[in-house]
Amino acid sequence: MQNDAMQAVRRAAACETIKLDCGLTVLVRPMPGYSGVHAIYGTRFGSIDLDFEVDGKAVHLPAGVAHFLEHKMFESEDGDAFAKYAKTGAAANAYTSFDKTCYLFTATQQVDESLDILLSMVGEPYFTEATIAKEQGIIGQEIKMYDDSPDWRIMTALFQCLYHSHPIRHDIAGTVESIAEITPEMLYDCCRAFYSPGNMVLAAAGNVTAEQVLAACERAKLPARPVSMRRLQSPEPPTVARERMEFSMPLAKACLGVGFKEAPVQGAKAEVICDMLTELICGGMTPLYRRLYDEGLVNPGFDGEFLLLEGCCCFLFTGETDQPETVRQLLMDEIARLRAEGVDGELFTLCKNQMYGEMLQDLENIEDAATALAGSFFRRRALAEEIEALASLTKAEVDEALQGMLCEDRSATVVIRPEKEDKA
C-alpha cells in the first residue's frame, strides 16, 4: 500500500486509546456532528470459558454460566439497571458470545449518567440463591426458544460434529439442566477471574470526548485488582468428531450445514483471507450461488461464515434446501475447482472492494464504530491493522491459503429434515 493510502486508512480508523492504571483499556472515537453516543463495556469471558484457575483455585463451570452472569449483572442491591437507564433515556442491552460478554447503551442525553450506570452495574455484582433461582426459570424459557430455532440447532450440531472436546460444543445459553447447577460462588469466581479491569474494554463512539469517558472512569473508582487467572483447555485433535448428523424438526424445508475444521490461523491478514473465502465460494456474486439460487436449490439466506476462537477455527455453510445432498456436492465441487484454478480475479476485486467499503462505512455509524473498536481489543490489535491487511491483500495470497483449507477429510455435514406428519 502506498504511504498516502496507508495514512488515509489510519485516519479513517483513528481513535483515542488510553490504558488506565487499573488496567482498563479505553477506546473513544469522537464523531462531531452526531447527536448520539454508543458505549460498550466488554470482557474477554464467553461461553467457552468453562474451565480456569483463579488465584490458585481451579473452577469448572456447567455450560451457560457466562450468559447467565450477563443477565444477573443488571441486578443490584439498589435496583435494576434497566430502571436506572429508563430515567436517563438510554436504550441498554447486553449479549454473550462464545468468547466475550458486552454491556452497552445508546443515548442522546444524560450520557454521563448512563456511563455511571454502565460502569457501576458491572463493577458491583450482587447474587443470592433466591435471585439465581428466579433467573434459572427465565433463562430456561429462553433456552427452549433456541431449541425451536433450526438455524441455531444446525450450528450447534455442526460444532458437535467438528469438535471432540472443545467447549464450543455447548450452547451459549447452556441447557435447563446445566444452569440448574449454577451457584452464587460460581458467579463470584467468574467475576473475580474475568471482570477485572485488565481483562476489559470500554469503547465509545459518537457525540462524546475521551475526557468525558475518562471522567466517568474516575467517578467509578475502578479498582486495580491484580488477578492470577489461567484458562484450562483439553487437547483437541485435528480430526472431526463425527462426519455426519441427521435429525428432524417441524420444518417446511430441510436445512443443510457443512462445516470444515481448520488449524487456528494467526494475524489480521490470515483472518481477512478466511472471511473473504466465504464470499468467494458462495457469496451473492459467485457462480455457485447463482446456480443454487437460479435452480431453486437453496433459499436466499444460504451463505458461509468463518469463526476463530481460542483453540477453534472453522468454516460453516448453512441454509435451507430441498436437496441437501446435491447442494453439499456442488459446494465441495466448487471448492475443489477454486483450489485447482484459483479464484476469479474480477470477483476477488469486487469482494475486496465490498469488504473494504463495509469496514469504512461501519466507522460512520456510532453503533458499528463502537463495536469495531471493542472488537479490535478482543482480537488484540488496532482497528487500522485489519483495514490495512484487507487493503494490501492480493489474489495470490488467497489462492495460496486455499490450498491447505476447506478439505473434505476435515468436514462434517448436518441435515435437519422436516418431521413427517402422522397419517390418520
Catalytic residues: 70
Please state, as a whole number, how many other Cβ atoms lie within 10 Å of the Cβ of residue 313.
Answer: 21
Calpha distance 32→214 (Å, rounded)? 18
Calpha distance 33→3 (Å, rounded)? 29
| DSSP symbol at 365 | S
Calpha distance 58→75 (Å, rounded)? 27
Contact assessment for residue 319 and residue 299, using Cβ atoms and an 8 Å cutoff: yes
Calpha distance 273→198 (Å, rounded)? 30
Could you tell me which residues come within 8 angstroms of residue 91 by beta carbon, excluding any fewer than 6 positions away? 85, 105, 106, 107
| C-alpha cell belonging to residue 113 | 449518567
Calpha distance 379→375 (Å, rounded)? 6
Give the up-direction half-sphere exposure of residue 384: CA atoms within 13 A in the CB hemisphere: 13
Reduce the DSSP state of residue 133 to 3 states and report it.
Answer: helix
